[in-house]
Amino acid sequence: MSARETDTAPEALVALRGARPAPAVENRIVEGALARAMGPRPRPVWPWLVAGAAAAAAVFFGLSRPPAVPEGAEPVAALGVESAPAAPTTAPTTAPAELRYVAQGDDAVYRVETPGINQKVVHLSAGTATFEVAPVPAGGLFAVQTPHGRVEVVGTRFTVAVGARCSRVSVSEGRVRVRRDHEAFLVPAGESREVCRGGEAGEGLMGRAQEDLAAGRLDDARRGFEAYLELAPGGLFAEDALFHLALLARRSGDVAARREATERFLARFPTGPRAERLRSPGP
Amino acid sequence: MALDPELFEACRAADPLAWRRLYRLYAGRVFRWAVVKGLRPAEAEDAAQEALAIASKRFAQCHAPQAFDAWLYQITRKVVANTRRRAWWRRVLPMEQPPEPAFVDGPGPEVERAVRTCLARLPADQAEVLFLFDIEGFSREEVADLIGRPPGTVASRLRLGREAFRRLWAELGPVALPTVEEA
């Protein structure tokens, strides 16, 4: 074999440079790696071994009696550790404000800022991204900032799509608070809202009405929705306002008010799941 | 190829969107590493997932974007070794089969099979140097760092590996090769 031959790479090897698997295989690798990286980590076994050994030693030396509770001491549950409300997400999470799953379109343009501990802001300037976030603790923050507004997470799964004039937020689990300038409104699960450049007339009114609704201040909410419809009868949130008014009327038990509010909604929005729900005879 | 410093920083900040981008960039490459190091395509797919997931969990150990490729290769090398160890039954059972093609835009299934067969028959240390230098395009110094041997040893293994590969190729390779221009 000549010296020149051993100085150059065999052509067959060079032919394999840059060889790639099928796109479907690449996709499976990406999704699988994400799932493995973000999934729950297996619990180590050694703490159980140590605990077991300690318990056995305690029994052996006759120390298994529970220690007396000092006067004035509170049990752990009363301090809120065990009595904390259940998290609104459906799966266990490992850290506050941690993303458990993210899917974004190929068009998503973003950067992530970490302004403080447990605080993360995704600046999404174009495209669409879906987020699933663990509940955010007091003082923590997880937000998606778009050119049209800011979406703050309470503990949920939601999609933000940035368009030329508006950003649309669709919430599938939990709820989010949408802020623009000094106004804010809540978007509950199963609903979506648009935040547009320049804002919509009465957007603040709607936001407050929805917050009143979420807080159980039903009369204030009703007045807020009516005020919005008076200000912007053909506005972006008219369907929401009419729908909530119809639901409030159903809840009040006043048959005449219920019929009137339902007809008012159906006159403008006769089709869709909301119309079907209002046509149903339930409470 | 060095990792984009901006992407490196975003990954360091545990930005999951950045990790998705990084996985997309490296999925095909890590898969190729695993296949050329002797795994079947299905095993290589699993090993690539595992290697990338480990990379995201231990990313703090990677000190610079320029070092990322070599660092990820070391992870993949260990994952592949573990996978091969787990597949011990294949070594003891007489189930020798020609390798299935793993790539869609490579040199074609015949050449690919023949290359993988020849590499599998080379001494492991020569095959690794050949793979890193001739297929992956690492420099001699980078290969020396990766395998923890001096550059002189790399040069020697490369020369012996090429000789042995050419001999095997003459015996096992397909008759006609596609025309390839070396980059």
- Which of 116-145 (B) contact A at CB < 8 A? 118, 130-131, 133-137
Q: Give the span between the Cα atoms of A35 and B33, in whole angstroms.
A: 21
Residue B157 to residue A104: CA distance in whole angstroms? 45
How many Cβ pairs within 8 Å bridge chains A and B? 152
Global pTM reads 0.48
**What confidence tens digit (pLDDT) does each residue in B58-117 have?**
888 888 888 898 899 999 999 998 888 876 655 555 445 556 777 877 777 888 888 888
For A178-229, write each residue's pLDDT tens digit. 776 666 777 777 777 777 655 555 777 777 787 788 888 888 889 988 888 8
Please check the confidence at residue A41 and state whether its pLDDT lies above 50. Answer: no
The answer to whether A127 and A109 have CB atoms below 8 angstroms apart is: yes
Q: Model confidence at B31, in pLDDT bands (50, 70, 90)?
A: very high
Paired with A196 in beta bridges are: A166
Nearest-CA residue of chain B relative to A122? B15
Provide φ and ψ at A167, rounded to 5°.
Answer: -115, 135
Q: Do B134 and A122 touch (CB under 8 A)?
A: no
**Closest chain A residue to B19, measured at CA:** A34
B45 contacts on A by Cβ (under 8 Å): 21, 25, 28-29, 32
Q: Set out the domains of chain B in order of their start, with CATH numbers.
A: 1-97 (1.10.1740.10), 99-174 (1.10.10.10)
How distant is the Cα of B116 from the closest Cα of chain A, in angstroms?
9
Which positions in chain A touch B180 (Cβ < 8 Å)?
11, 14-15
Q: Are B135 and A21 inside 8 Å of each other by CB?
A: no
Q: Could you tell me which of A139, A145, A98, A101 has the C-alpha nearest to residue A121?
A: A145
CB A207 within 8 A of CB A183: yes
Q: Using the beta-carbon criterion (under 8 Å), do A12 and B53 form an inter-chain contact?
A: no
ipTM of the complex: 0.85
How do residues A146-181 score in pLDDT, each as one tens digit? 877 778 776 667 788 776 667 778 887 777 777 766
pLDDT of residue B178: 43
Q: B125 pairs with which residues across the strands?
A: none
Sign, Cα dihedral of A118, B19, B71, A38:
positive
> Which tens digits make up the pLDDT trace of A92-106?
233 334 444 455 555
Instruction: Show the DSSP H helices in chain B as ranges.
Output: 5-12, 16-36, 41-57, 68-86, 88-92, 109-121, 124-130, 140-147, 151-172
- Per-residue model confidence as pLDDT tens digits over B9-27: 888 887 777 888 899 889 9
Domains in chain A: ranges and CATH: 94-199 (2.60.120.1440), 200-283 (1.25.40.10)
Burial B159-178 (b: 16+ CB within 10 A, else e): bbbbebbbebbeeebbeebe
d(CA A128, CA A29): 22
Residue-wise pLDDT tens digits, B116-129: 888 888 898 999 99
Question: In this structure, are residues B14 and A118 in contact, taking their beta carbons and an 8 Å threshold?
Answer: no
